[in-house]
């Protein structure tokens, strides 16, 4: 059985980022930049006043109070014609370009203005309340790197950079196919031996939120022809995710039908609980010889499928979206219950996450961990990771956790 980390690496290595598309600013929110974006303009493009007050020459206010002659007025969007001479001041408003010759702004609260004279009673050093050209950024600076998921703050910055369209990765198309004679769609009336399909809906909802376009291929019965027929809808998709039919039983057909050629299977079965029968390879879908589509075969048990989505579909989507590989140390928390020693499978335990009185996070795994129990998955707030062969762990010891995000 393959270790979890190696399975993840092999999935990521087999995939490549999807192509880019150009979107208007607001539509690019939460999308991933396909290439670095540089400023088309220097900001501010010229020196501007940061306050309402008077533009002056610092030399003229070296001694206070100073009496200066008013020679004009400038507001944002306009300019003062002419150059400020010694002993002169220009009435200025926030955002207005600093007149030539001026180098400092004094606050109006610190001045007493008459008809033609302004008396400056308080002021700062040269440059006070002036925002020099390029204070924020200069034209040509690549401020937004490729692989960045665009926040609302980034969108505002891109707009200030005078970029109206942004090159982002298109949404990867993820085909999702549930398998099993026992399954019906939610809302239907199950037959006597049937249950309601669940995992595919959770996975599609999360994948959409994460930035993909899910393509629902429905539920394939445990029949070779029907499975191939349903999977045909994955042609042209960036990934086919199947649910169930991954184990060793006679009815577990995914591998036999979709990755029939021995070379199509990269790996099957990993050292993980829940999620042992995870499968990855290339499916051949549609009319023979079939179009190749990367295949991620998730186990059928609902919790196994969801946990495998968190641990393997997520890095797959990150890779397709061109996001940087974020593999690194996991977050940690204090254990809220004793745990027995682990066997050779890496364990991911559903757990509650609370903040203790001392401010530290405490993760408490549920006593029951059966991989069919979705209720406990929904009630959990994180997964506690237990490495293979981890020794027994006492309450209070540090453990690694995986938290849920993007509406998982
Ligand atoms: N002899 C062995 N039996 C099993 C092994 C094994 O190693 N040897 N592994 C077990 C483990 S671990 C898992 S996990 C399951 C996964 O097997 P499959 O991927 O083939 O899943 P199915 O048999 O199709 O289904 C398992 C279980 O989950 C239900 N299911 C399936 N799909 C859905 C769905 N979309 N929504 C809700 N529930 C679903 C299905 O009805 C079964 O109850 O195999 C063990 N067996
Ligand atoms: O790995 Mo299975 O996913 O233990 O239930």
Ligand 1 mutation target, pool 186, 187, 197, 247, most atoms within 8 A of CB: 247
List where CATH 2.40.340.10 sits in the chain.
Answer: 331-403
**Count, residues in the chain:** 408
List where CATH 2.170.190.11 sits in the chain.
Answer: 48-131
Tokens of 183: 């399954």
**Does the pLDDT of residue 251 top 90, yes or no?**
no
List where CATH 3.90.105.10 sits in the chain.
Answer: 20-40+144-169
Q: What is the pLDDT of residues 175-232, one digit of tens each?
A: 999 999 999 999 999 999 999 999 999 999 999 999 999 999 999 999 999 999 999 9
Rg for the chain (alpha carbons), in Å? 31
> Ligand nearest 246 Cα, by number?
1
CA distance 268 to 255: 9
> Ligand nearest 248 Cα, by number?
1
Q: Ligand 1 centre and the CA of 372: distance in Å?
A: 9
Is the CB of 254 within 6 Å of ligand 1? no
Q: What is the pLDDT of residues 61-103, one digit of tens each?
A: 999 999 999 999 999 999 999 999 999 999 999 999 999 999 9
> Ligand nearest 370 Cα, by number?
2
Contacts of 180 (CB under 8 A, 6+ apart): 197, 219, 221, 222, 244, 245, 251, 300
Model pTM? 0.94
Is the CB of 94 within 6 Å of ligand 1? no
**Does the pLDDT of residue 348 top 90, yes or no?**
yes
Is the CB of 202 within 6 Å of ligand 1? no
Tell me which residue has its CA closest to atom 4 in ligand 2. 274
- Give just the sign of the alpha carbon dihedral 345, 326, 321, 408: positive
Pick the CATH number of 48-131 from 3.60.21.10, 1.20.1740.10, 2.170.190.11, 3.40.50.300: 2.170.190.11
* CATH 3.90.105.10 holds for 20-40+144-169: yes
CATH of domain 331-403: 2.40.340.10
List where CATH 3.40.980.10 sits in the chain.
Answer: 4-15+171-320
pLDDT confidence tier of residue 252, bands split at 50, 70 and 90: confident
Assigned CATH class of 4-15+171-320: alpha beta
The ligand 1 atom at the shortest distance from the C-alpha of residue 297 is 19
Q: What angle do CA 391, 394, 399 make, to 5 degrees?
A: 75
Q: Among residues 44, 9, 8, 16, which one has the least CA distance to residue 238?
A: 16
> Ligand nearest 221 Cα, by number?
1
pLDDT confidence tier of residue 164, bands split at 50, 70 and 90: very high
Ligand 2 mutation target, pool 276, 303, 307, 346, most atoms within 8 A of CB: 276
CA distance 151 to 156: 9
Instruction: Identify the pLDDT of residue 327.
Output: 80
What residue ranges in 180-319 does DSSP mark as E strands? 183-184, 195-196, 213-220, 239-243, 265-268, 272-273, 279-285, 291-298
Summary mean pLDDT of the chain: 96
CA distance 44 to 97: 10
């Amino acid at each position: 059985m393959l270790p979890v980390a190696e399975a993840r690496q092999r999935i990521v290595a087999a995939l490549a980022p999807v192509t880019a598309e150009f979107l208007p600013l607001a539509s690019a929110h939460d999308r991933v930049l396909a290439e670095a974006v540089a400023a088309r303009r220097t900001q501010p493009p010229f020196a501007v006043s940061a306050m309402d007050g008077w533009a002056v020459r610092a030399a003229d206010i070296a001694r206070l109070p100073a009496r200066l002659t008013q020679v004009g007025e400038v507001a944002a969007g306009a300019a003062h014609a002419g150059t400020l001479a010694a002993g002169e001041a220009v009435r200025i408003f926030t955002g207005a370009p600093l007149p030539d010759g001026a180098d400092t702004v004094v606050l109006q609260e610190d001045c007493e203005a008459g008809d033609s004279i302004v008396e400056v009673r308080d002021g700062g050093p040269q440059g006070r309340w002036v925002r020099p050209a390029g204070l924020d950024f200069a034209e040509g600076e690549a401020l937004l790197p490729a692989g960045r998921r665009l926040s609302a703050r980034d969108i505002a910055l891109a707009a200030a950079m005078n970029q109206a369209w942004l090159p982002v990765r298109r949404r990867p198309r993820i085909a999702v196919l549930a398998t099993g004679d026992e399954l019906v769609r939610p809302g239907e009336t199950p037959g006597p031996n049937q249950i309601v399909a669940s995992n595919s809906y959770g996975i599609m909802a999360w994948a959409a939120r994460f930035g993909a376009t899910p393509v629902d291929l429905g539920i394939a019965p445990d029949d070779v022809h029907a499975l191939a027929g349903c999977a045909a809808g994955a042609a042209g998709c960036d990934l086919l995710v199947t649910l169930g039919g991954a184990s060793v039983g006679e009815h577990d057909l995914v591998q036999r039908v979709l990755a029939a050629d021995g070379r199509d299977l990269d790996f099957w079965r990993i050292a993980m609980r829940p999620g042992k029968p995870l499968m990855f390879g290339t499916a051949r879908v549609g009319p023979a010889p079939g179009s190749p589509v990367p295949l991620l075969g998730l186990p059928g048990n609902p919790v196994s499928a969801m946990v495998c989505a968190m641990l393997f579909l997520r890095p797959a989507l990150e890779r397709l979206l061109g996001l940087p590989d974020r593999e690194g140390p996991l977050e940690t928390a204090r254990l809220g219950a004793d745990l027995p020693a682990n066997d050779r499978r890496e364990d991911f335990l559903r757990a509650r996450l609370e903040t203790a009185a001392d401010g530290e996070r405490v993760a408490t795994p549920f006593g029951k961990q059966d991989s069919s129990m979705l209720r406990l998955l929904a009630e959990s707030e994180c997964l506690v990771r237990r490495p293979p062969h981890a020794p027994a762990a006492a309450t209070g010891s540090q453990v690694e956790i995986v938290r849920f995000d993007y509406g998982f």
